[in-house]
Structure 1
Amino acid sequence: MSLRLLISLLAGVALASSAQAQELAKVKGVVELFTSQGCASCPPADAAFQKLVSQGNVVALAYHVDYWNYMGWNDTMSSKENTARQYAYARTLGRSNVYTPQAIINGRDHLNGADLTAINLKLDQFDRGGKGLTVPVHAAMKGDELEIKIGAGEGKANVVVAYFDRDQLVTVAKGENTGRQIAYMHSVSDVETVGMWDGKPMNLVLPASVMEKSDRDGLAVLLQSASSGGDPAAIIGATVLTIGNGRN
């Protein structure tokens, strides 16, 4: 075998490996889990959610709701805003009620949050059917600023940033999960709309100080459409960015 042919073959292998790495790194969808430390059926979903995070190809966000707090344990990460987001999704999906653990997939459908197989199947189904993440979104820290880049596409959408705590370990002292020590990941502490996308490529720059509030160590950028009533709807682009090593 000639040296030129060998170099050519090695280059081909390198290109194939690079393409495979890019395909594996492709984000295939967004899963938003609505959960509670006071919900007896939620720990299996919280465990499944950890596996989603570790997959590396899903933007996974956990929203702790506050309506289970009456059971005697106030969820340490719950908020009325998280509950309001879940009810907003219910209106978008034409539902009259909410439940935990509920997983919202790409803002388009809902599933039992503990059913990891069904969640991945739905993500794949949406991806194949053109209801996945069709618009590229990238986020990176540039010195003291957070830079968000969004590609071209069709329609209009809000640029939404969800700030989360990377990981926490909680010992539940009261309620249905009394005595259990539960690990939580990507628990959302705040959500804000930072811009509007109109189908054209755009860049946004935010001060890095936003990450310093509430000891935030991660964020997700969602390109999310809205219903006619202004409620969150289909997510057409997303990315996630973690900072630091997390904490227990």
Structure 2
Amino acid sequence: MILKNLIGTAAFVAIMFTVSAFSCTDKTEEIYQNHTSNDRGFAVLELFTSEGCSSCPPADQLMGEIEKQYKDQPVYILAYHVDYWNNLGWKDKFSSIENSKRQQQYAQTLRSQVYTPQLVVNGKKEFVGSDRDAVENGIQTALLNSNNTKIDLSTKVSEKEITINFKTAENNSQNKLLITLVEKKSSTNVQRGENEGRHLVHWQIVHQQNQISLKNSTEGTTSFKLPENFNTNDWEIIGMIQNVKTGEIVGSTKSSF
């Protein structure tokens, strides 16, 4: 079942009206290599999904296949687990109200419905996230018709936090830099809801996202609390620049640990 924007719960209504602007392994500190985006085309795939939705596992699986297929190309995947399914039988441990708000922002800028699984490419086009042909066409169109704004990222991991230094030449006051902490792969044994009894595997899971205004400064530092059971092989940082008015993403890169 695809969940449309007709849920009559007070929590979801609150989400709809609370719309903000596009808005470790050891105790030693490690500094990792600087990562820089280039100016060729890129594709940012943002999937809105939920463990409570029976239509979502095929979309999650497709993201895993796309990640493998395009591993050497500038294709960046972020899976946002939304929270508005949580009262319908199963609470998704990866979900957050922030992820639901981001989807609602896209509903406004793209004039689309809110549903799962929904995929947005470069902040400009949306379609059902399990539609392989649409996803492939969206990626190819984005790679051919975008110019990647330069972003420099360098990452430092300490016992309690991850620190990211960023720098970009982009100084449009309408743009924000979004820095996202992503878990590459995880899984859950679902015990209730539409996916009861299923073992679900997820890729590119968004855990934390910081939004940084580029109005007054194009370089600086941001940080994340170190997740439990963190290890450098299973996580990465994705940075992207987004226009707060149109939603269009004009640049992206990633930094692996």
TM class by smaller structure: 0.7 to 0.9
C-alpha deviation, 1:122, in angstroms: 1.6
Aligned ranges 1:50-129 → 2 under 5 Å: 50-54=64-68, 55-56=70-71, 57=73, 58-95=75-112, 97-129=113-145
Task: Provide the TM-score with structure 1 as the length reference.
Answer: 0.75
> How many residue pairs align between the two structures?
210
Calculate percent identity across the aligned residue pairs. 29
Task: Provide the TM-score with structure 2 as the length reference.
Answer: 0.72
Q: Distance in 2 between matches of 1:160 and 1:114?
A: 25
Higher radius of gyration, 1 or 2: 1
Query: Counterpart of 1:191?
Result: 209
Aligned ranges 1:15-26 → 2 under 5 Å: none
Aligned ranges 1:138-149 → 2 under 5 Å: 138-141=152-155, 145-149=163-167
C-alpha deviation, 1:99, in angstroms: 0.8
Gaps of 5+ in 1: 1-25, 244-248
C-alpha deviation, 1:215, in angstroms: 5.8
**Contact 1:28/1:133 (<8 A) preserved:** yes
Which of 144, 161, 185 aligns to 2:179? It is 161
Structure 1 stretch 33-42 or stretch 154-163: which is displaced more? 154-163
Bigger relative CO (Cα 8 Å, ≥ 6 apart): 2
Q: Distance in 2 between matches of 1:86 and 1:190?
A: 15
**Contact 2:81/2:99 (<8 A) preserved:** yes
Return closer, same or farther for 1:39/1:223 CA change in 2, 3 Å cut-off. same
C-alpha deviation, 1:121, in angstroms: 1.4
Which of 189, 193, 198 aligns to 1:171? It is 189
Q: CA RMSD in A?
A: 2.8
Which of 47, 54, 78 aligns to 2:61? It is 47
**Contact 1:32/1:103 (<8 A) preserved:** yes
**Matched residue type, 1:123:** I
Return closer, same or farther for 1:211/1:239 CA change in 2, 3 Å cut-off. farther
Gaps of 5+ in 2: 1-39
